[in-house]
Amino acid sequence: MRFIEAAALAALTVPIAARDNFDFRVNQPRRLVAVQRPSPNRVTGNTIPLGRANTKTNSLSAGYLQAIRSGQHVDGVYSRLQNGTAQLLSVNAGSVFLAPLQAGGEMFEVVIDTGSSDTWLVNNQFTCVDPTDSEVIDESQCAFGPTYSLSSTAEQVPNRNFNISYADGERLNGQIITEDLTFAGITVENQTMGLVTVVGWYGDGTSSGLVGLAYVSLTNQYGGSNPSADVGGLNIPYNPLLTSMFVENLTAPIFSIALDRDVAQTAQAAGGVLAVGGIPNIPHGSSWASANISVVGIDAATGQPEYQFYAIRVDGWAVSKNWNADFDVKMTGNTRKTPLLHAPTYNVIVDSGTTLIYAPTDVAAALAAAFDPPSTISSTYGLYTVACNATVPRFGVAVSSKIFYINPLDLIIDTGLGFCVLGVQSNNGGYTIIGDVFMRNVLTVFDVGAAQVRFSARQCQLTNGAITIGGKADYF
C-alpha cells in the first residue's frame, strides 16, 4: 500500500563518501491514486505525545532537503552548494520528536521520523563508531537511552541484514528481527524491524531507536549477512509498522500530527501529538481544507533508491501589512480584495522535519518587506534577518480556498546568537517547503487511503504578550 506522510528526516542511502557532494535527480511529481474514500476525522484515543530532544546534529532531513533547496537547478539536477548554509543548519539544529514504543513488553523512547520507514532499536551490545571517520569510539558517545535485548516474542530473521545511512553521515548496521510492537496503543505482532549493532549516531541521551512513518519503498532490509555487500544492492521491501497496522486493518488508514509551539525554546519542551487512525482531541477550527497529494521523487543521481516527498498545491500566499486585509482567496480578480501572491504554487512539500517555510522568492521578498522595520537578506548568512522586536505583517498560506494564517510567534525566530531570522525564507528557486513554522498552526491529517492531506486551523494560545494580534484572527 502506498503511504502518505509528512516527508521528513530523509534516509539517504548514498555511499557515505559521496555525502558532501550530492547530485540530485528530481523526477516529475505524479499524482497518487486513492485506494479508498477519505476516512473520517474521528477523534481517537490512539495518540502519542511527542517529546522534543536536542541532538548534537542538525535534524536528519535538513542536510538533505537543504542540499536540494540550495542547489543549482540544471536540467532537473540539483547540486549541493557548499557555502551559505552553515548558519542555517545551526538555526535549524537539534529538534527531533520523540515518542514511546513498546517492544516485547518493554518501553523505549524513540525518534519519530516521517521521512524514513524502518523501525529500529539499539542492541544491548553494540559498537559505536564516529560517523565522520568510522573510528570505534566509546559507547557513551552514541548517547542512547536504554538498550534493547531480544525478548521471548522476538526472532531473528535469517540471511538478512539491516543497513541504513542518513544524509548527515549517520549510519546503522545490524540484524533484521520480528517483534511485537505497540505504538499509539495499537499492537502489531511479529513486526519486521532493525536491531542495530554497529552504530554511527548522534544520540540525544534519551532515545533508543527510531520509528519511521513512511512507506514500504523506503525500508532498508538487505539479503545476506554482510552489510558491505549491500552497496548498490536492492533492498528487500517489507511492510513498516504503520503500513502493517493499515494492512492488517488494525486502524483506519490515516494519521495526524499537531506540533506545539516551543515559545520558551526550552530543551525538553512538549513537541505536540501524533494520532493513528484519527485525530487527537485538541481544539481546532470547524472547517477542513483538503488537497490531493502528489509524489516528488528525488534520488541521488548515482544512487539506487528514490526518496519520495509528498507535495500539495498551494492556492497562493497571503501577505499584508494590514491585519484587516480581505484576501481574494478564490482569485476572482475583485479589485477591492488583496490578491494572493504566487498563485497557484505547485508541488509544495509538507514536511514536519523542516523547521522553516521555504517560499517562492517573490513571496519571501514581499513578506520581508512588510515587516516594520523591513527584513533584509544578511550578506553574512544569506538569510532574511529581522529586528527581534519588528512589527509582524499578516501572513497566511491558502489551501483549497482557505487561508491558514501563521502566528507572529512563528515568524520571528531568535537564533540565540544575538539576531533573529524570518520563519519564512526564500526557496532560491528550489522546492517550496512548508515546515514546522506552518505545521504548528494547523492540525494535519495524512489520509493514506484517500491520498490526500487535510488541514484545520489550531486554537493558538498567545503567551508572548509583546506581540499584538489584530484583525480576523479566527484561528485563535
Ligand X SMILES: *[C@@H]1O[C@H](CO)[C@@H](O)[C@H](O)[C@H]1NC(C)=O
Active site residues per annotation: 113, 351
Which of these segments, 158-166, 254-262, 294-302, 411-419, binds ligand X (CB under 6 A)?
Answer: 158-166
**Shortest CB 290 distance to ligand X, Å:** 8
Q: Is 333 exposed, middle or buried (0-12, 13-18, 19+ CB in 10 A)?
A: exposed
- Considering only residues 1, 77, 136, 231, which one is a binding residue for ligand X as defined by CB under 6 A? 231
**Shortest CB 135 distance to ligand X, Å:** 13
- Can you say whether the dihedral through the CA atoms of 168, 296, 46, 444 is positive or negative? positive
- Considering only residues 125, 249, 286, 335, which one is a binding residue for ligand X as defined by CB under 6 A? 249
Regarding beta strands 345-350 and 433-434, do their DSSP bridges make them parallel or antiparallel, or are they unpaired? parallel
Q: Which is nearer to ligand X, 80 or 440 (CB)?
A: 80
83 binds ligand X (CB under 6 A): yes
Q: Which is nearer to ligand X, 235 or 432 (CB)?
A: 235
173 binds ligand X (CB under 6 A): yes
Closest by CA to 3, choosing from 419, 308, 352, 424, is 308
- Considering only residues 4, 5, 7, 13, which one is a binding residue for ligand X as defined by CB under 6 A? 13
**Shortest CB 49 distance to ligand X, Å:** 25
Which of these segments, 46-54, 107-115, 140-148, 224-232, binds ligand X (CB under 6 A)?
Answer: 224-232
- Considering only residues 39, 87, 292, 361, which one is a binding residue for ligand X as defined by CB under 6 A? 292
Q: Which is nearer to ligand X, 106 or 189 (CB)?
A: 189
Long-range CB contacts (< 8 A, 24+ apart) of 175-178?
176/221, 177/150, 178/154
CB 244, CB 191: distance < 8 Å: yes
- Considering only residues 263, 282, 387, 462, which one is a binding residue for ligand X as defined by CB under 6 A? 387
Q: Which is nearer to ligand X, 220 or 355 (CB)?
A: 220
- Can you say whether the dihedral through the CA atoms of 435, 438, 439, 445 is positive or negative? negative
- Considering only residues 1, 15, 372, 468, which one is a binding residue for ligand X as defined by CB under 6 A? 15
CB 441, CB 458: distance < 8 Å: yes
Site string for ligand X, 364-383 (x = CB under 6 A): ------------------x-
Q: CB under 8 Å to 57, separation ≥6 — which residues?
A: 93, 94, 168, 170, 202
Q: Which is nearer to ligand X, 100 or 305 (CB)?
A: 305
190 binds ligand X (CB under 6 A): yes
- Residue 434: what are its φ and ψ, rounded to 5°? -105, 105
Which of these segments, 39-47, 55-63, 157-165, 454-462, binds ligand X (CB under 6 A)?
Answer: 157-165
Distances (CA, A) of 435 to 38, 349, 397, 432: 24, 8, 12, 10
- Considering only residues 389, 459, 461, 468, which one is a binding residue for ligand X as defined by CB under 6 A? 389
CB 178, CB 191: distance < 8 Å: yes
Q: Residue 276 pairs with which residues in a beta bridge?
A: 255
Residue 311: CA atoms inside 13 Å, Cβ hemisphere, count?
22
d(CA 397, CA 7) in angstroms, rounded, equals 19
Q: Residue 122 pairs with which residues in a beta bridge?
A: 196
352 binds ligand X (CB under 6 A): no
- Considering only residues 40, 76, 84, 471, which one is a binding residue for ligand X as defined by CB under 6 A? 84
125 binds ligand X (CB under 6 A): no
Site string for ligand X, 131-150 (x = CB under 6 A): --------------------
228 binds ligand X (CB under 6 A): yes
Give the CA angle between residues 43, 48, 52 to the nearest 5°: 135
How many other C-beta atoms lie within 10 A of the C-beta of residue 5?
A: 28
Site string for ligand X, 16-35 (x = CB under 6 A): ------------------x-
Q: Which is nearer to ligand X, 342 or 440 (CB)?
A: 342
Which of these segments, 38-46, 93-101, 160-168, 268-276, binds ligand X (CB under 6 A)?
Answer: 160-168
**For 337, which DSSP code?**
S
d(CA 423, CA 426) in angstroms, rounded, equals 10
Q: Which residues bind ligand X (CB under 6 A)?
A: 13, 15, 34, 83-84, 155, 163-165, 171, 173, 189-190, 227-228, 230-231, 249, 292, 382, 387, 389
